[in-house]
Structure 1
Amino acid sequence: MKSRLTLSALAIALPALFSIGCVSDSAVANYRAQYRVAQEQILDLQAQLEDKDRQIELLRGAKNPNADLQAQLADALADRAALEAAVAKLKDQLSRAGTTPIPVELADELARLAEANPDLMSYNEKTGAIRFRSDVTFGSGKAELREQAAPIVERLAQVLSSPVASQYEVRVVGHTDNVPIKNAFVKQQFGDNWGLSTARAVAVMKGFRSAGIPESRMSVAGYGEFRPVEPNGPRGSEANRRVEIYLVAMPGDEAEAEAAPAAEAAPSNTLAPADTVVPMKSPKPADEGPELYK
Structure 2
Amino acid sequence: MIGSRRRIGGGGQDNSWPGFVDALSTLLMVIIFLLSMFVLAQFFLGQALSGRDQALAELRGQVAQLGNLLKMEKQSNQALRDSMAELSASLTAANKDRDTLSADLEATKSALAASDARLAEMTAARERFEADATDLAERFKLADDALSEERIISKRAQEQVAQLQRNITALQEQLGRLEAALQASEERDRRNQAVIVDMGRRLNRALASKVEELAGYRSEFFGRLKEVLSTRPEIRVEGDRFVFASELLFASGSADLGPEGRAEMRKFAETLIAISQEIPQELNWILRVDGHTDKRPISNAQFRSNWELSAARAISVVRFLISVGVPADRLAATGFGEHQPIDPADNVFAYSRNRRIEMRLTQR
- Shorter chain as denominator, the TM-score bin is 0.3 to 0.5
TM-score (norm 2): 0.39
More helix by share: 2
TM-score (norm 1): 0.48
- Higher RCO, Cα 8 Å, sep 6+: 1
Structure showing greater Rg: 2
